[in-house]
Amino acid sequence: MDGFLFWGQNDKGFSMWKRNRAAVVVLGDIGRSPRMQYHALSLARQACVEVDIVAYGGSEPHISVLEHQSIHIHEMPQWPTIPRGLPKILRPLFLILKPIVQFLTLLWYLCVKIPAPDAFMVQNPPSVPTLVAVKWASWLRHSAFIVDWHNFGYTLLALSLGRGSPFVSIYHW
């Protein structure tokens, strides 16, 4: 990490943190995201900043994340899974509404519910709608935008919908 000016000090020894705050964003269960928990702990311990984790609840995060006084977890409400009895003709509507609701929820949390951070760190995938929402929030709040990129979202969507799905093609585009 010491190769990045952003993480600690610049060449003159001054801290790069203005607000002393970072936001870690996961459009998923934070307890099942050890990489992002590690990032939050590293920011809190090594950069000595307040960290807001914005994610879904579900499984418990690591005890060191839960007990760290500088880490604050903000659990977003989850969009329900597709109901089993939903007619097939309504499935596309459900799949279109889901990212719209997630996008609006993310923007609400990132722009209103949490204090403005120096940086947003976002997990990718999922790319839709996460990357756009966090990018907009970083622009609106004058914050850095950092992506923990470890997979392509469209390849994961293809596992559940099939490679020939029009949604996978749109996502890939």
Full pLDDT tens readout for the chain, 173 residues: 333 334 444 444 445 678 999 999 999 999 999 999 999 999 999 999 999 999 999 999 999 999 999 999 999 998 887 778 888 888 888 888 989 999 999 999 999 999 999 999 998 877 789 999 999 999 999 999 999 887 666 776 777 778 888 877 887 77
- pLDDT confidence of residue 123: 87
Cβ-in-10-Å burial (0-12, 13-18, 19+) of 165 comes to: middle
0.75 exceeded by pTM: yes
- pLDDT confidence of residue 4: 36
Instruction: Give dist(CA 107, CA 49) in Å, integer.
Output: 22
- pLDDT confidence of residue 152: 67
Cβ-in-10-Å burial (0-12, 13-18, 19+) of 21 comes to: buried
- pLDDT confidence of residue 68: 97
Instruction: Give dist(CA 25, CA 34) in Å, integer.
Output: 13
Query: Of 5, 17, 6, nearest to 49 (Cα)?
Result: 17
Which residues in 122-135 are b (16+ Cβ under 10 Å) and which e? bbbbbbbbbbebbe
User: How many CA atoms lie within 13 Å of 60's alpha carbon, on the beta-carbon side?
Assistant: 5
- pLDDT confidence of residue 16: 62
CATH class belonging to 5-172: alpha beta
